[in-house]
């Protein structure tokens, strides 16, 4: 299974762009970068850092943008997208959060998530949706902050943690056996201090640590599904 690896923007942009056909409209990685940065700039969002990953010599790619001045000491807004030239992944992007201490991610999925096949007016649709949702990024981020605060206040026993992990693996099929092992290790010996031991927030981050090497085709959806699971389980407002 192909895994994305960190790369420089210049290397990513060397990938050959396929020709358009009646049923396929390629979206250049450069266009994804330019449109995303343009919308962030229009909304006065300062980009602290950009990072890019690619696989298959640039046929698959992801980009992430960390935004400053969010008013929270533990998290920042993060915009992410993925794109492909080999038809393996649709154009996809989402607005979420970057947890500073561990570099984990949060993606709620209720706003700012966009997914589109490489057909017809895909680039125009991406630009229109980016324009709408980037303007709502601040409001969405405040929702993630509220979820974080609520999870920190919820005490979770070892048995409850085990039940949650078992349900995510066996019932919901949103984590893999390999990820279960990573989560178990993180719960027994956390790699980071989340300032809320024995809480739902600590369990949440143990799970998102396990997603760091998630396959690009599942990366955004996996984060959305995990967040939805925790929101439903703990009735987060």
Radius of gyration of the chain (CA): 18
Q: Are residues 202 and 100 in the same domain?
A: no
Residue 17 Cα distances to 64, 80, 88, 203, angstroms: 21, 21, 14, 41
Q: Are residues 128 and 177 in the same domain?
A: no
From 146, 180, 206, give the residue that closes a domain: 146
User: Where in the sequence is the domain holding 180, given as residue range(s)?
Assistant: 150-234
Q: Are residues 49 and 165 in the same domain?
A: no
Residue 134 neighbours by CB under 8 Å, 6+ apart: 39, 40, 42, 43, 45, 79, 95, 112
Q: Are residues 24 and 125 in the same domain?
A: yes
The burial class, CB within 10 Å (0-12 / 13-18 / 19+), for 181 is exposed
Q: Are residues 38 and 94 in the same domain?
A: yes
Tokens, residue 19: 């020709």
- Looking at residue 199, the DSSP 8-state letter turns out to be B
How much is the pTM?
A: 0.89
β-strand pairing of 91-99 with 60-67:
unpaired
**CA 135/CA 196 separation, integer angstroms:** 31
Q: Are residues 33 and 140 in the same domain?
A: yes
Check residue 114 and give its pLDDT.
86
Q: Are residues 187 and 70 in the same domain?
A: no
Mean pLDDT confidence for 107-125: 84
pLDDT digits (tens, 9 = 90+) for 37-87: 999 999 999 999 999 988 889 999 999 999 987 789 999 999 999 999 999
Residue 16 Cα distances to 20, 22, 58, 89, angstroms: 12, 19, 8, 16
Q: Are residues 63 and 142 in the same domain?
A: yes
pLDDT exceeds 50 at position 134: yes
pLDDT exceeds 70 at position 162: yes
pLDDT exceeds 80 at position 2: no
pLDDT exceeds 80 at position 18: yes
Q: Which single residue is written with the structure tokens 């349900």?
A: 167
């Amino acid at each position: 299974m192909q895994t994305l690896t960190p790369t420089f923007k210049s290397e990513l942009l060397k990938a050959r762009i396929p020709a358009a056909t009646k049923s396929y409209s390629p979206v250049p990685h450069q266009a994804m970068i330019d449109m995303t940065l343009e919308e962030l700039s229009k909304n006065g969002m300062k980009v602290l850092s950009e990072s890019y990953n690619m696989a298959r010599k640039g046929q698959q790619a992801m980009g992430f943008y960390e935004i400053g001045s969010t008013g929270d000491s533990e998290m920042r807004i993060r915009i992410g997208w993925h794109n492909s030239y080999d038809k393996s992944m649709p154009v996809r992007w989402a607005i979420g959060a970057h947890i500073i201490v561990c570099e984990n991610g949060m993606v709620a999925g209720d706003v700012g998530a966009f997914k589109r096949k490489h057909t017809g007016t895909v680039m125009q649709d991406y630009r229109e949706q980016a324009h709408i949702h980037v303007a709502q990024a601040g409001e969405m981020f405040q929702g993630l902050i509220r979820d974080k605060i609520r999870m920190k206040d919820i005490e979770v026993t070892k048995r409850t943690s085990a039940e949650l992990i078992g349900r995510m693996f066996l019932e919901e099929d949103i984590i893999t056996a390999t990820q279960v092992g990573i989560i178990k290790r993180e719960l027994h010996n956390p790699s980071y201090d989340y300032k809320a031991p024995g809480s739902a927030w600590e369990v949440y981050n143990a799970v998102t640590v396990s997603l760091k090497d998630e396959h690009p085709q599942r990366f955004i959806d996996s984060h959305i599904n995990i967040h939805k699971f925790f929101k439903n389980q703990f009735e987060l407002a």
